Amino acid sequence: MTKLNQYQTPIFSTLKDVYAKRDIIPFHVPGHKRGKGMDKEFYDFMGPNPFSIDVTIFKMVDGLHNPKSCIKEAQELAADAYGVKKTFFAVNGTSGAIQAMIMSVVKPGEKILVPRNVHKSVSGGIILSGSVPVYMNPEVDDELGIAHGVRPEVVENMLKQNPDAKAVLIINPTYYGAATDIKKIADIVHSYDIPLIVDEAHGAHLHFHEELPISAIDAGADICCQSTHKIIGAMTQMSMLHVNSTRVDVNRIQQILSILHTTSPSYPLMASLDCARRQIATEGRELLTKTLKLARDLRAEINKIPGIFSFGKEIVGRYGIHDFDETKLSISARELGLTGFELETLLIDDYNIQVELSDFYNVLGLITLGDDEISTGKLLEALKDISKRFFGKGKKIGESVGKMPTIPESILIPREAFYSENNRIKFLESEGKICAEMIMAYPPGIPVIYPGERITKDIIMYIQNLKAAKLHVQGMEDSELEYIKIIEEEDAVYLYTEKMKNKMFAVPMNLGANKAGIEFGPEVLEEYFPDTFGEMTYIDIEKQRENFNEWSLKYKNTILNTCEKLAVAVNEAVRDGYRPITIGGDHSIALGSISGVALEKEVGVIWIDAHGDMNTDETTMSGNIHGMPLALLQGAGDRDLVNCFYEGAKIDSKNVVILGARDLDVKERDVIEELGVKVIPYDEVVHKGLDNVLDEIKDYLKIDNIHISFDVDSVDPEFAPGVSTPVRNGFTPEEMFKTFRFLFKNYSITSVDIVEYNPVNDKNEKTMNFVNDLTEFVLNPNV
């Protein structure tokens, strides 16, 4: 039940009874001055009233961007009518409202789950937000040739695969009237404590009649937008955005709408929105009862016509269809040998009837509050006549060409693809290229490929089959699809910058290497580069009582104590949403940093090092623990150290890659082989090429979250002499930056170690400058 007087129309009443009634002399825009400066033919056709209320923002008529009087009251009445916490008037259409919804819940680089068959406004919102779309396949109805909704099971499965997603967007109902189980989807999404946003463009009327599918907000959605101009009576372009949850920041939505909306909104259009709300709130049930009866009666009569078919409630229960909006009238004349496109042309050319849309099999008509027996009767008579003209002619239309290819690999997020340079090449020669266009096929109206995705052989063959079958393919610049726009790898623009906050830890440990100088690394870096290292949290090294007869585990107790303190600090940072960056010190500290991360997330490890660091107390030749942490993290070696922070192994051996090794101990190789760790020695990098090796790592590591543990001695001593255990040859700084860029682009980097910088052995500050440059990249990776 509403609490406010829904018969009021604050905007319309102010314009009509205050501004226009006073016969104001306008010295404000628009320049037509209440129609006096308007083109005469246009003015005569429109009449005087629209121009008498066509005003700009001033105190008397309020302002949309900071409403205080009539617009504020009108939005409050709309919120009351729909039973929501807050309603915004969307004067940039539902397209603008959808973009505002997306931008309000996801930031650059964050994931949002969306159906594959989204409206282009969703793609625009993803581009504007810089977010990463994770596509969900809707259910395809081969018989009807259209896509329905996304099933709850699909949403649940995709969230399990992408638990870091920040929001889920659902289209409900579809253009054709199919409604999914939105209530169940809302419950699933909320179990992850993220918002469900709904493109309810075709559902502004649902809340007002119990025989219609449940509305998004009534089902528990956090935010939705509706085209108030579609089924109910606002003028074209007018929409509403409803918020009904604390998971969405209302102030942020207002801010984003102010950015997207014009600063000169149309007052006549807003007045129509105000009055449309009054109509649906006060007369909605009665009007919709009439509308539903019209739709049902018309559908029943259409289905008596030979060769013509209109589906209805009987499709409820098919995959992706939990309910159906009967005001959506899909009409197929396939049995007459007519495509939907041909049927639309006949209706307009021969009968002066314009439908909403057509696809390969169907036309779609909307039965709205504005229809009556006269309009529906004329449509019925036209369809009867078309049946007489074409029934039994035997013309065949295209059939299905088989299953669509799987969703291709995404190389660039939509924002990056949008800003990348593109050029045209022959479509048949485009395999392996990055697509710069969207290609959509009817049926079923789902994009085969989006910009930023890699073109496959299967996609080329499928689209060739579509063309041969004369099915409708659209979206590309070349309508014949002889040529396609692509993005060359060298032209790709990577705009996504990691937005995760960083927290830096300094661990001045030298006992793992048992060499002086490493302990000064963090302090020297902070002194020379305070902007980079000035906010490090230091982990104190507290000397513990040691058993010096235990030669194979030198300084074990002090190292364990330090690593456990580091693990506690790192774990707290991860839980607070930070990416911990640990600056050493020797490589033994990785036992603490990785343990701290691994308690919260399953991580893979890229261990970039001249050494393997996979000795145990039984295989070590030196007893230095900085040669053991990677084995300990996998559960091999001294039990006290293995159980650092919490019991047992911290990482799975199949999720580990040692990159760039140049010096492995003989017995250490046995440990590596026993655990099954993948090692890519530096010689192999030279032989295969770094690009190929990085692709090999991507194919091998099937895990999203990665910890990078980087030992400076992996770099050639010519470029980084300031280490404790230098080994000849090694990576160049350029190769290291390429490696880091690749890893940040292809994985979620949870945490990073940068260790073994020894200022005592540095020459001309080469190593210090390199470590600073690399750390700056890690803190703000532009990939």
Bridge partners (DSSP) of residue 147 are 140
DSSP per residue, 51-73? HHT----BGGGB-SSS--SHHHH
d(CA 205, CA 179) in angstroms, rounded, equals: 14
Mean pLDDT over each residue of the chain, to the nearest integer: 93
Alpha helices (runs of H) in 626-679, residue ranges in sequence order: 629-633, 639-642, 666-675
d(CA 82, CA 152) in angstroms, rounded, equals: 25
Both structure tokens of 201 = 């463009």
Residue recorded with tokens 């008037």: 89
The pLDDT tens digits for 513-550 are: 988 999 999 999 999 999 999 999 999 999 999 998 88
Q: pLDDT value at position 497?
A: 45
C-alpha 646, offset from chain centre: 35
d(CA 672, CA 139) in angstroms, rounded, equals: 47
> Which residue in 278, 327, 269, 340 sits closest to 89, CA to CA?
269
Alpha helices (runs of H) in 261-311, residue ranges in sequence order: 267-302
Where residue 783 falls among pLDDT bands split at 50, 70, 90? very low
The pLDDT tens digits for 195-222 are: 999 999 999 999 999 999 999 999 999 9
Q: What is the DSSP letter of 567?
A: H
**What three-state secondary structure class fits 740?**
helix
Q: In the predicted model, what is the mean pLDDT of residues 299-324?
A: 95
DSSP per residue, 613-636? ----TTT-SS--GGGSHHHHHTT-
d(CA 208, CA 281) in angstroms, rounded, equals: 8
Tell me the backbone φ, ψ of residue 446, rounded to 5 degrees.
-115, 130
Res. 695: pLDDT tops 60: yes
**Residue 12: which region, alpha, beta or left (left: phi > 0; alpha: psi -120 to 50)?**
alpha
d(CA 642, CA 654) in angstroms, rounded, equals: 18
Both structure tokens of 732 = 């160049």
- pTM across the whole model: 0.67
User: Which residues are designated catalytic?
Assistant: 587, 609, 611, 613, 626, 711, 713, 756
Res. 441: pLDDT tops 90: no
- pLDDT cut 90: percent of the chain above it: 80
SS (H, E, C) 474-501: ECCCCCCCCEEEEECHHHCCCCCECCCE
Q: pLDDT value at position 443?
A: 67
CA distance from start to end of the chain: 52
d(CA 268, CA 35) in angstroms, rounded, equals: 13
Residue 293 CB neighbour total at 10 angstroms: 12
9 burial (CB, 10 Å; 0-12 / 13-18 / 19+) is: buried
CB-based contact 298:367 (threshold 8 Å): yes
Both structure tokens of 172 = 């409900």
CA distances from 272 to 12, 13, 66 (A): 8, 11, 20
Question: Residue 444, preceding bond cis, omega within 30 degrees?
Answer: yes
Q: pLDDT value at position 2?
A: 85
The pLDDT tens digits for 546-572 are: 998 889 999 999 999 999 999 999 999
> Which residue in 100, 93, 130 sits closest to 112, CA to CA?
130
| Cβ-proximal residues to 496 (8 Å cutoff; 6+ apart), any chain | 108, 109, 130, 132, 413, 415, 416, 783
The pLDDT tens digits for 263-308 are: 899 999 999 999 999 999 999 999 999 999 999 999 999 999 999 9
Res. 713: pLDDT tops 90: yes
Res. 398: pLDDT tops 70: no
> Which residue in 663, 133, 658, 679 sits closest to 415, CA to CA?
133
d(CA 183, CA 149) in angstroms, rounded, equals: 13
Res. 496: pLDDT tops 80: no
User: What angle do helix axes 267-302 and 373-390 make, rounded to 10 degrees?
Assistant: 50
Q: pLDDT value at position 731?
A: 97
Q: pLDDT value at position 107?
A: 87
Pairing of strands 656-659, 604-608: parallel
Residue 76 CB neighbour total at 10 angstroms: 16
Q: pLDDT value at position 24?
A: 86
Res. 498: pLDDT tops 50: no
Q: What count of Cα atoms within 13 Å lies in the side-chain half-sphere of residue 267?
A: 29
CB-based contact 554:625 (threshold 8 Å): yes
d(CA 291, CA 769) in angstroms, rounded, equals: 73
Q: pLDDT value at position 195?
A: 97
User: What angle do helix axes 373-390 and 340-351 make, rounded to 10 degrees?
Assistant: 110
> Which residue in 367, 372, 335, 326 sits closest to 209, CA to CA?
326
Question: Residue 30, preceding bond cis, omega within 30 degrees?
Answer: yes
The pLDDT tens digits for 751-764 are: 999 999 999 999 99
